[in-house]
C-alpha cells in the first residue's frame, strides 16, 4: 500500500492535482493525460486513501453509521439489508453497532462513531439520552430515527406507531369475539417499542370494557423458546384466557408450539397473535394473525432520506410507513 498521488504524478509527469482530478473523474485534463494517469495508477496498484481525502477536504466522510437494538433480530436484519443496498448504490459505506436496547450503550456508540465524522447517522427508536441528542444537534449532522414514529425527530424520522399496532390488534381480536386477552412479552421493560405495543393493546381492550386479563414479561430475548415458555408460564397463572398477544412472531410461533404440545386447540380454545410479519407466519398450517411491518422499505427510505438531505434536496422530515394487520387463522 505504497503508491500515493505524488508517486503517480511523478511517474506520469504531471502534478498531484491533475492526478487527483483524473482519478476522481472530474474535468480539466486532456484525454491523453487521463489515459496516461490511469495506466500509471493501475500499474502502481494505487489504492486511494479515504482517510486523507475525508480529512483533507471538508471533514465529511462517506461513512454512514447505523445503530440497531440487536443484530440477531430478523426484522432488523431486513432493515439493515434495505439500508445497505440503498447506501452502497449511492457510494456510502455502513458502520453498524448494536445498543442492546440501552440508550446508554447507544450514546457510547454514537460518541465513537461521530468522531469518524460520518456523513450521517441512522438510529433505532425515538428515545435517546439527552447527551446523545445534544451531541447530534451540535454536530449538525443528518440523523434519521427509524422504527418508532416521532413527530419531533432530532432531524428526520421514518417509522410507524407501535401504540397503534397494539391498539389495532386489540380491536381486531375484540371483533373476532375475544374477551379475555393475555400478553407475553420479552426483554423486560428494556424494549420501549414492545412496551408501546402493549400499551396500545391494553388501552384498546380497556376502552371496549374487556381489559387485559394477564401479562407475562420475560427477561429473555424474544425468540421461539421464550414464546413457548412464556405461554406456559402465563397459563400456569391464569387458565381463563381466550387469546394471547405476543411480543413478536417468533414468540407467537413458540406459543403455538406449546399449545400444540398440550393439546390446546388454536384458535378454538385459544387465539394467538404475533407481530412483525416474519415469513414463517404465512406458511404455518394455520396462518398466524400478525402485523406485517415493511422492514426493507423502512431501511431504504431511511437511507434515501439521509442522502437527499446530504445533497441538499428537499425531503420530508417525518415519513410514516404503513403497517398492515394480516388476519390469519390463529386469532
Q: List residues near a second copy by CB under 8 A.
A: 1, 45, 47-52, 54-55, 59, 61, 63, 70-74, 77-78, 80-81, 84-85, 88, 93-98, 109, 111-117, 135, 138-141, 223-225, 228, 250, 253-254, 257, 260-261, 279-280, 282-285
**Can residue 53 be called a binding residue for DNA (CB under 7 A)?**
yes
C-beta of 32: minimal distance to a second copy in Å?
26
C-beta of 118: minimal distance to DNA in Å?
15
C-beta of 319: minimal distance to a second copy in Å?
22
Sign of CA dihedral 306, 312, 317, 323: negative
Half-sphere exposure of 36 (CA within 13 A, CB side): 15
217, β-bridge pairs: 185
Is the Cβ–Cβ distance between 146 and 304 less than 8 Å? no
As a dihedral over the C-alpha atoms of residue 44, residue 47, residue 52, residue 55, rounded to 10 degrees, the angle is 150
12: how many CB neighbours lie within 10 A of its CB? 20
**Can residue 43 be called a binding residue for DNA (CB under 7 A)?**
no
Q: Is 134 helix (H, G, I), strand (E, B) or coil?
A: helix
Cα–Cα dist 120/104, whole Å: 20
Is the Cβ–Cβ distance between 99 and 65 less than 8 Å? no
C-beta of 184: minimal distance to a second copy in Å?
14
Which residue lies nearer to a second copy by CB, 133 or 139?
139
Among 11, 20, 225, 264, binds DNA (CB under 7 A): 20
Which residue lies nearer to DNA by CB, 48 or 211?
48
**Can residue 138 be called a binding residue for DNA (CB under 7 A)?**
no
Return the C-alpha cell found at 141. Answer: 449532522
C-beta of 62: minimal distance to DNA in Å?
11
Cα–Cα dist 199/111, whole Å: 32
Q: Is 178 helix (H, G, I), strand (E, B) or coil?
A: coil
**Can residue 30 be called a binding residue for DNA (CB under 7 A)?**
yes
Cα–Cα dist 327/7, whole Å: 65
**Residue 57's binding partner, choosing from DNA, a second copy, none, with beta-carbon cut-off 5 to 8 A by kind?**
DNA
Q: Which of residues 58-87 bind DNA (CB under 7 A)?
A: 58-59
C-alpha closest to that of 98 among 71, 132, 65: 71
Could you give phi then psi for residue 51, rounded to 5 degrees?
Answer: -60, -50
C-beta of 138: minimal distance to DNA in Å?
15
**Can residue 14 be called a binding residue for DNA (CB under 7 A)?**
yes
Return the C-alpha cell found at 296. Answer: 426493507
Which residue lies nearer to a second copy by CB, 105 or 199?
105
Among 25, 45, 56, 140, binds DNA (CB under 7 A): 56
Which residue lies nearer to DNA by CB, 50 or 237?
50
Summarize as ranges the residues that interact with DNA (CB under 7 A): 4-6, 13-18, 20-21, 23-24, 27-30, 32-33, 48-49, 52-53, 55-59
Amino acid at each position: 500500500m505504497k503508491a500515493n498521488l505524488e508517486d503517480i504524478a511523478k511517474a506520469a509527469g504531471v502534478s498531484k492535482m491533475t492526478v487527483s482530478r483524473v482519478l476522481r473523474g472530474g474535468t480539466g485534463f486532456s484525454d491523453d493525460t487521463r489515459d496516461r494517469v490511469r495506466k500509471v495508477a493501475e500499474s502502481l496498484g494505487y489504492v486511494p486513501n479515504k482517510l486523507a481525502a475525508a480529512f483533507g477536504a471538508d471533514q465529511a466522510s462517506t461513512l454512514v453509521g447505523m445503530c440497531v437494538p440487536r443484530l440477531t433480530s430478523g426484522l432488523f436484519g431486513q432493515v439493515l439489508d434495505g439500508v445497505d443496498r440503498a447506501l452502497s448504490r449511492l457510494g456510502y459505506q455502513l458502520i453498524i453497532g448494536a445498543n442492546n436496547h440501552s440508550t446508554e450503550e447507544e450514546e457510547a456508540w454514537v460518541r465513537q462513531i461521530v468522531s469518524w465524522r460520518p456523513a450521517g447517522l441512522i438510529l433505532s427508536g425515538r428515545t435517546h439520552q439527552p447527551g446523545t441528542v445534544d451531541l447530534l444537534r451540535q454536530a449538525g449532522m443528518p440523523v434519521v430515527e427509524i422504527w418508532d414514529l416521532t413527530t419531533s425527530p432530532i432531524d428526520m424520522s421514518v417509522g410507524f406507531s407501535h401504540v397503534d399496532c397494539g391498539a389495532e390488534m386489540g380491536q381486531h381480536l375484540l371483533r373476532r369475539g375475544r374477551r379475555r386477552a393475555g400478553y407475553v412479552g420479552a426483554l423486560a421493560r428494556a424494549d420501549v417499542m414492545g412496551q408501546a405495543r402493549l400499551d396500545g393493546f391494553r388501552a384498546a381492550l380497556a376502552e371496549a370494557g374487556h381489559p387485559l386479563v394477564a401479562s407475562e414479561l420475560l427477561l429473555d430475548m424474544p425468540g421461539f423458546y421464550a414464546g413457548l415458555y412464556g405461554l406456559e408460564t402465563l397459563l400456569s397463572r391464569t387458565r381463563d384466557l381466550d387469546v394471547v398477544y405476543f411480543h413478536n412472531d417468533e414468540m407467537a410461533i413458540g406459543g403455538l408450539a406449546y399449545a400444540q404440545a398440550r393439546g390446546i386447540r388454536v384458535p378454538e380454545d385459544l387465539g394467538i397473535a404475533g407481530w412483525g410479519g416474519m415469513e414463517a407466519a404465512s406458511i404455518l398450517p394455520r396462518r398466524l394473525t400478525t402485523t406485517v411491518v415493511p422492514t426493507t422499505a423502512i431501511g431504504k427510505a431511511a437511507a434515501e432520506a439521509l442522502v437527499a438531505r446530504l445533497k441538499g434536496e428537499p425531503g420530508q422530515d417525518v415519513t410514516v410507513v404503513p403497517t398492515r394487520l394480516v388476519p390469519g387463522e390463529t386469532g
